[in-house]
Structure 1
Amino acid sequence: MIALLIRDLRLAVRAGGGFGLGLSFFLIVTVLVPFGVGPETGLLAKIAPGILWIGALLSCLLSLDRIFALDFEDGSLDLLATAPVPLEGAVLVKAIAHWLTSALPLVVAAPLLGILLSLPAEGFLWVFVSLLLGTPALSVIGTFGAALTVGIKRGGLLLSLLVLPLYVPTLIFGAEVARRGAEGLAVETPLMLLAGISLGALAFLPFAAAAVLRMNLR
């Protein structure tokens, strides 16, 4: 499992789906928002948590179609399906590799980019915490979506259409945690709901993704 994780991390970076692409897109979104809505500090501070979450979500979408595509093209996916390692474990490793290369850099960069959006100082910690708790769900849900569209040529758009509705609860509660934290309000309820979504996705979706992969490989 560790060898598979290391292999996926190397492939993600070599194939151009590493942290650089997602971070660049995240930075572009953050920089363009003040030009679109104006330089008013109060307005930017109010919308900053939601903008940071939307930017992180869209950045994660960029590399979803690569999760299984390379393995499907070179036949490695068939070997994983017949290997002694459970396919569910391999799917979970794929999700972890995606989170480490695509989501974790965004989690670290989000508080810094919040400065460009005049995010209140109280919100830096909660933006970081909300993304740290919520982005695992984005990666696992995205892995499930990638399993659904594996083998489909140019399935990136279809993958986005399938995954985006499933991302909505994570986006709602994640942005709410960041917003409440920035305003000094209680964050316990949306924080627990956000953690519950991530834990539920980690518990169930690897099995669903593995089942879908077995059907697609028949």
Structure 2
Amino acid sequence: MKALLLRDLRLAFRSGGGFGLGLAFFFLLSVLVPLGVGPEGGTLGRIAPGILWIGALLACLLSLDRIFALDHEDGSLDLLATAPIPLEAVVAVKALAHWLVTGLPLTLIAPGLAVFLNLPAAGYPWLILSLLLGTPALSAIGAFGAAITVGLRRGGLLLSLLVLPLYVPTLIFGGEVVRRGAEGMALGTPLALLAAISLGAAALLPFAAASAIRVNLR
């Protein structure tokens, strides 16, 4: 499993599998929104939680189609499906690799980009915590969507249509955690729900994704 994780990480960095692209997209969105909305700090501060979470969501979405596509093209996916390693574990490792090259870097640079959006200082630690709790769900849900569309022509568009509605609860609760944290409000409920979504997605979706891959490989 460790070898598979390291292999996926190497492929992501060598082929530019969404690592730099996602960060660049997140940066550009954070810079362009103030230019479009205007320099009024109060307005930017109010919309900052939602904008930052939307940026992280779309940045993760950019590289989802590569989770299984490269393995399907070179035949590695067929070997992984017949290997002694459970296919569910393979899916979980690939989702983890996706999070390490997208979700984690986005979490680390988000506080710096929040400066452009005038996020209140009280919201910074909650921004980091919400992304740490929420972005694993984005990768797990994305791996499920990528498993459904693997091998399909122009599957990227279909993948986006499938995954985006499933991302909505994570987006809502993630943005709510940051908003409440910035305003000094109680945030136990959205924080717990955000963590529950990630834990549920990580526990259940690898099994659903593995079943979808088996169907597509028949």
TM-score if structure 1 supplies the norm length? 0.99
Q: Secondary structure at the match of 1:186?
A: coil
Q: Which residue of 2 aligns with 1:56?
A: 56
Q: Which residue of 2 aligns with 1:217?
A: 217
Q: Which residue of 2 aligns with 1:25?
A: 25
Q: Which residue of 1 aligns with 2:94?
A: 94
Q: Which residue of 1 aligns with 2:158?
A: 158
Name the CA distance, whole Å, in 2 between partners of 1:97 and 1:196.
21
Q: State, as a whole percentage, how many aligned pairs show the same letter.
A: 74
Shift of 1:18: 4.2
| Residues 101-138 of structure 1 deviation map (CA, whole Å, 9 limit, x = unaligned) | 01110001111100110111101000000000000000
Q: Secondary structure at the match of 1:147?
A: helix
Name the CA distance, whole Å, in 2 between partners of 1:111 and 1:188.
21
| Residues 124-163 of structure 1 deviation map (CA, whole Å, 9 limit, x = unaligned) | 0000000000000000000000000000122111100000
Name the CA distance, whole Å, in 2 between partners of 1:12 and 1:19.
7
Q: Which residue of 2 aligns with 1:13?
A: 13
Q: Which residue of 1 aligns with 2:139?
A: 139
Q: Secondary structure at the match of 2:11?
A: helix
Shift of 1:16: 1.2
Describe how 1:30-41 pairs up with structure 2 within 5 A: 30-41=30-41
TM-score if structure 2 supplies the norm length? 0.99
Runs of 4+ in 1 over 4 A off after TM superposition: none
How many residues were matched structurally?
Answer: 218
Q: Which residue of 1 aligns with 2:173?
A: 173
- Give yes or no for contact 1:81–1:87 (8 Å, CA) kept in 2: yes
Unaligned runs of 5+ in 1: none
- Give yes or no for contact 1:133–1:195 (8 Å, CA) kept in 2: yes
| Partner amino acid, structure 1, of 2:23 | L
Q: Secondary structure at the match of 1:63?
A: coil
Q: Which residue of 1 aligns with 2:193?
A: 193
Q: Which residue of 1 aligns with 2:208?
A: 208
Shift of 1:14: 1.4
| Residues 152-194 of structure 1 deviation map (CA, whole Å, 9 limit, x = unaligned) | 1221111000000000000000000000001111110000000
Unaligned runs of 5+ in 2: none
